[in-house]
Amino acid sequence: MLAKETEEPFDDKDWIFETKWDGYRAIAELNKADVKLYSRNGNLFNAAYPEVIDALAQMAIDAVIDGEIVVMDEAGNPNFQLLQHYGEDRAHPIYYYVFDGLKINGQSVMQLPLLERKEKLRTLLKESDIIKYSDPIEEQGKAMFALAGEKNREGIMAKKADSRYLPGRRTANWLKIKYHKTMDAIIGGFTEPAGERKYFGALVLGLKQGDTLEYIGHTGSGFNASLLKKIYEQLQPLITFQSPFDERVKTNTPVTWVKPAIVCEVKFTEKTRDGKLRHPFL
């Protein structure tokens, strides 16, 4: 079951709200003889996260549960970069935050309302140093979103309290609300459009560091047709054959370089360890 995205947090007595963990979504199939942990796309995670497998096996339950694999940094915040490199560096703690159940004690509970599923899950789940129950709050989405920002979390999940579990489907009964940071970035180029899109595909973004322009990412999100046209027209007099970046910039389509004269405000979720923006958009 997948969530749609919305921009603004809200309060509603018919909804519950949970932390949006910045990790890998994972479905665990457990019985007393075996444990299998799958990615959202059906890839087996067992070899990648043996600590999680061992912790799940120790619960000795018959269930199918849904959750997120997370690695925490020194400040206790979920860190997607550390998770991506967990195979090379296991110095940071790993967790499996469980937020839903598909089967409990061998019986499907997917047709039960979400709050009933979570209550059965809470009763069944045996928490440990690695296995954690993702505890929701009811109604107070705005307060939880503000807390997510204070704790440097990625955002929150909003879920209809009576929603049924729909495997593989993206539904408006589950919503993800991301907490975005903002910064001013310099446009250093634009890529060719693809398909029916006009004017450009993405803006190539940089940040001034002394006398150089450091590449921080590119974004093709957040534009409507009129904004695409407006930005494209503003960039035409600035076109140059020379890249304004010292480093080689990798993009999926050819780039037209421009003189670094236009600044835009960019939203993003976080910076990677090498200074690139995650999920940037205008």
Structure tokens at 197: 């899109």
Contacts by 113-117 with C-beta closer than 8 Å and gap 24+?
A: 113/161, 113/162, 113/163, 113/164, 114/16, 114/159, 114/160, 114/161, 114/162, 114/163, 114/164, 114/165, 115/16, 115/161, 115/162, 117/165
**Residue 9: CB partners within 8 Å, gap ≥ 6?**
141, 142, 144, 145, 146, 156, 158, 177
Bridge partners of residue 38, in order along the sequence: 27, 44
CB 257 within 8 A of CB 246: no
Q: Is 20 a catalytic residue?
A: yes
Catalytic residue among 20, 118, 159, 178: 20
CB 72 within 8 A of CB 86: no
In whole angstroms, what is the distance from residue 28 CA to residue 98 CA?
A: 9
CB 184 within 8 A of CB 265: yes
Residue by residue, DSSP assigns 89-151 as ---S-EEEEEEEEEEETTEE-TTS-HHHHHHHHHHH----SSEEE---EEE-HHHHHHHHHHT
In whole angstroms, what is the distance from residue 1 CA to residue 164 CA?
A: 10
In whole angstroms, what is the distance from residue 122 CA to residue 133 CA?
A: 7
What residues are annotated to the active site?
20
